[in-house]
A = this chain, B = another copy of it.
């Protein structure tokens, strides 16, 4: 059951769209819908219907039915399983300042398969405190604690000057994936997954689009 499908590498683009499908389906589910068509999803999410069908085909355990579409509950379950939303992994947060605590508060990341088990900071005023139920520990204990807890994912939310050091400490502790919110390119070993959350890049794309829109009109 789907074992092989999950090994086939599914494109980054598709994976990036799955959470949006998931949210959308959850909404529909809450509204009491039992089935949904790819055309409806495409229209509401401003995507191409063929693209939606192809994406869903890659992760769904049951094919859609002509005339009816896809089973909402089943599709949600499929995405849950594919993205590991049913199977929470532990993570640590480095940097318990503004951004860090916003992140902890924000997401309800647990719904997205991520459980933040500890935070770290160098600021003595923060160490020992809790933010949203997460204990803030001394950054000097980072590597050893990460190793002891066997954590594989680290989130970096420190000022840019401290980001490389944080990354190094995470790697030393055995972390294999880093979600980096600091505006720096981290130098890391080959076999570590990194995802940079580059706000400046997003902003650049947005403002160029804005400029285009403004130029098109009168």
How many copies of this chain does one complex carry? 2
In the complex, A3 Cα to B113 Cα: how many Å?
48
Chain A 186-203 against B: per-residue CB contact (8 Å), 1 yes, 0 no? 000001111101111111
Q: Does A207 contact B (CB under 8 A)?
A: yes
Q: How large is the interface on A (under 10, 10 to 19, 20 to 34, 35 or more residues)?
A: 35 or more
Task: Name the contact of A23 in the complex, choosing from B89, B184, B207, B215 (C-beta under 8 A).
Answer: B184
A23 to chain B, nearest CB (A): 6
Among A13-21, A28-36, A69-77, A141-149, the one that faces the other chain is A13-21
Whether the Cβ atoms of B210 and A153 lie closer than 8 Å is yes
Q: Does A64 contact B (CB under 8 A)?
A: no
Whether the Cβ atoms of A193 and B210 lie closer than 8 Å is yes
Whether the Cβ atoms of A15 and B208 lie closer than 8 Å is yes
Determine the chain B residues whose CB is within 8 A of the CB of A193 once the complex forms. 206, 209-210, 212-213
A56 to chain B, nearest CB (A): 15
Determine the chain B residues whose CB is within 8 A of the CB of A12 once the complex forms. 205
Determine the chain B residues whose CB is within 8 A of the CB of A162 once the complex forms. none
Task: Name the contact of A176 in the complex, choosing from B99, B205, B210 (C-beta under 8 A).
Answer: B210
Most buried by B among A17, A101, A177: A177
Whether the Cβ atoms of A205 and B213 lie closer than 8 Å is no
In the complex, A216 Cα to B190 Cα: how many Å?
13
A64 to chain B, nearest CB (A): 21
Whether the Cβ atoms of B184 and A195 lie closer than 8 Å is no
**A101 closest partner in B (C-beta):** B98
Q: Does A117 contact B (CB under 8 A)?
A: no
Whether the Cβ atoms of A112 and B200 lie closer than 8 Å is yes
Interface pairs (18), CB distance under 8 Å: A10-B208, A19-B200, A20-B201, A23-B200, A45-B185, A84-B207, A97-B105, A98-B101, A98-B105, A107-B183, A107-B199, A114-B203, A191-B213, A192-B213, A193-B206, A193-B209, A193-B210, A193-B213
A residues apposed to B, CB below 8 Å: 7, 9-10, 12, 15-20, 22-24, 44-46, 83-84, 89, 97-99, 101-103, 105-107, 109, 112-114, 152-153, 176-177, 179, 183-185, 191-195, 197-217
